[in-house]
Structure 1
Amino acid sequence: MASHAQNLAALWEMAIGHATSFGIKAAVFLRIPDILSDSLEKSMSLEEIAARLQGTNIQLAPLRRLLDYLVVKKVLLKIQSLEVPGEFKYGSTELCEMLTESKFARLLMLQDEVVTSGWHHIHEFILHGGEVPFQRAQGMFIWEYMEKNPEFLGLFSQGMVAISNVTMDSVLQTYHGFDEIRGVLVDAGGGFGADIGRVMEKYPHIAGVNYELPHVAHAAPAIPVILVLQNCYKALPHGGKLIIVDIDMDPAERGPFESLKFAFDLVLLALTKGGKERTSVQFIELLTQAQFSNIKTIGDVNCLCSIVEAHKLET
């Protein structure tokens, strides 16, 4: 049982959790992860980091406070300087490397003020129903907002690519179900085609097709999931396989991503109409209704998502 002090600390963490999100955002906008990554020693003094910033009046004291917070959150290391006693350098970590522009910095899309606007209205949606949280905040569904705001559409698309890249890194390292594919692999709703491209790069024997229709994405909230799965079943040849990469809300699937799964479910609640994460049992029920068989879940792919395989048996 947690002590009173531990509960109090947890309460404060919940109340001021945005400090981490916006602290990271500031560091990425300042390009601190890239600055440290580009240095030969992967570590620099406060003054050396400041010299690399693009500004007209760099403030050292606020910069130090930001860097020290990132040390506490284990994004950076604080290393005793060998040259000057009492002085410290800030060093990169694996987590810091993940935040470089070439990797996952675009995950910051999740902190955009438009994306987060719906969170302020979740309680109203729970109490009164009607307009979903994002709709209450912006006066329209998120898909409509994208159509009217190309800049936000670009930001959102980049963020989705970043999320996909994080997932595909783990999938391609741990999942071996692509080995047995002979012929064509279709990525339904594949966006810009980055995922299918990476699969083809690792498995050159696969002929990949990226299937993306913007008007379908716009109408997606109104299309029942079972209908999508039934259409996938019809499109598959006999002996074909459907591969779903998605979050599994099964309570038995414990691990470092457990709380994040519930957080992403709330993201869908705040942003979409009817969007939600599902358990493996719910996936199996839906796939069975769509006539798939030989269904199995592959839970440990070392990332936020799990994999569900479903087959259209030979006749």
Structure 2
Amino acid sequence: MATEKTSEELLRGQAEIWQHMFSFANSMALKCAVELRIADIIHSHGGTPITLSQIASCIDNSPSPDIPYLARIMRLLVRKNIFTVHHSLSDGSGSESTLYGLTHVSRWLLHGSDLSLAPMIVMENHPWTVAPWHCFSTCVKEGGTSAFEKAHGRDVWDFASQNPEFNNMFNDGMACTARIITRAIMTGYRDEFGCIGSLVDVGGGTGTMIAEIVKSHPHIKATNFDLPHVIATAPLIDGVCHVGGDMFKEIPRADAVFMKVTSCLLIINL
């Protein structure tokens, strides 16, 4: 019995290792769905489930898409509840059609939506952003610098300042999460903004979050503060002054400052 139990545990352990080994495939398939705009294609048909051929025919810059390859990717995404799958008989011929639809998850992949994580998915799964994850063992052995510096020879801010493509991709990713968080802030912290005369968003990126606050509270004198190379790409926003600088050296004066660190928000009344 002990031998059987040990063999079962070993087999279960092996299965778990295989799952961990290929867990990256979920992120890559998700990135593929965003790049091909699969959720947008289904949404453009009124959100009604459609066939693989219909999806394939709407993929941009793809004169002859590989439908069997697309089918394998969709099979994985369906298994992860990103999309739904339906089987139905078509036009009395007796043949069966496979249709793919949206879920509450895939609606977060729609481009141009206020509640979209598509830019963040692209950013987080780009080779530039994934490369540091391959440097964990080097960080443990050598220490001294971040995984990003190990991978690219400079920190993320310096890399962004020298690489406009990465800078824009990073800013787009941050902006999409800022829109989502701002909606929650404006619901739960609405009344408190009424007593603030001036506000600084420290590390505000291109100003997405503070723009939404000023839109609801136009009396606020707002400053969007970030590194110069970030501010250089920020659009003009009514009621918002963009200021470039280093928060470790000096922050513009205001009644209050706030800072978003990934999914956390810190608001300080001065």
- Is TM-score (shorter-chain normalized) higher than 0.5? yes
| Cα shift readout 1:219-260 (whole Å, capped 9, x = no counterpart) | 869x3xxx77xx67xx34xxx44444446xxxxxxxxxxxxx
Residue 44 of structure 2 corresponds to which residue in structure 1? 38
Structure 2 unaligned blocks of 5 or more? 1-7, 232-243
Any residues of structure 2 matched to 1:183-222 within 5 Å, and which?
183-214=197-228
Counterpart-to-counterpart distance in 2, 1:169 and 1:13: 36
Does the 8 Å contact 2:175/2:208 carry over to 1?
A: yes
Q: Does 1:22 align with 2:28?
A: yes
Any residues of structure 2 matched to 1:173-252 within 5 Å, and which?
173-176=187-190, 178-214=192-228, 223=248, 235-236=253-254, 240-246=255-261
Residue 102 of structure 2 corresponds to which residue in structure 1? 92
Counterpart-to-counterpart distance in 1, 2:198 and 2:180: 24
Change (3 A) 1:135 1:211: closer
| Cα shift readout 1:33-80 (whole Å, capped 9, x = no counterpart) | 110111124321111112212312211111111111111111101123
1:81 pairs with 84, 88, 99, which one?
A: 88
Change (3 A) 1:195 1:16: same
Counterpart-to-counterpart distance in 2, 1:146 and 1:246: 18
Does the 8 Å contact 2:167/2:230 carry over to 1?
A: no
Does the 8 Å contact 2:202/2:259 carry over to 1?
A: no
Counterpart-to-counterpart distance in 1, 2:186 and 2:211: 12
Counterpart-to-counterpart distance in 1, 2:245 and 2:200: 20
SS in 2 for 1:130: coil
Counterpart-to-counterpart distance in 2, 1:213 and 1:76: 39
Q: Does 1:116 align with 2:123?
A: no
Counterpart-to-counterpart distance in 1, 2:230 and 2:166: 19
SS in 1 for 2:144: coil
CA shift at 1:24, angstroms? 0.9
> What is the TM-score when the length of structure 2 is the normalising length?
0.76
Residue 119 of structure 2 corresponds to which residue in structure 1? 106
Q: Does 1:151 align with 2:165?
A: yes
Count of aligned residue pairs for this structure pair: 242
Residue 146 of structure 2 corresponds to which residue in structure 1? 132
> What is the TM-score when the length of structure 1 is the normalising length?
0.67
CA shift at 1:6, angstroms? 6.7
Counterpart-to-counterpart distance in 2, 1:214 and 1:179: 27
Does the 8 Å contact 2:202/2:257 carry over to 1?
A: no
Counterpart-to-counterpart distance in 2, 1:88 and 1:70: 14
CA shift at 1:91, angstroms? 0.4
| Cα shift readout 1:103-148 (whole Å, capped 9, x = no counterpart) | 3211110111111111111221122213332222222222222232
CA shift at 1:82, angstroms? 5.7
SS in 2 for 1:204: coil
Q: Percent identity?
A: 26
Counterpart-to-counterpart distance in 2, 1:132 and 1:8: 32
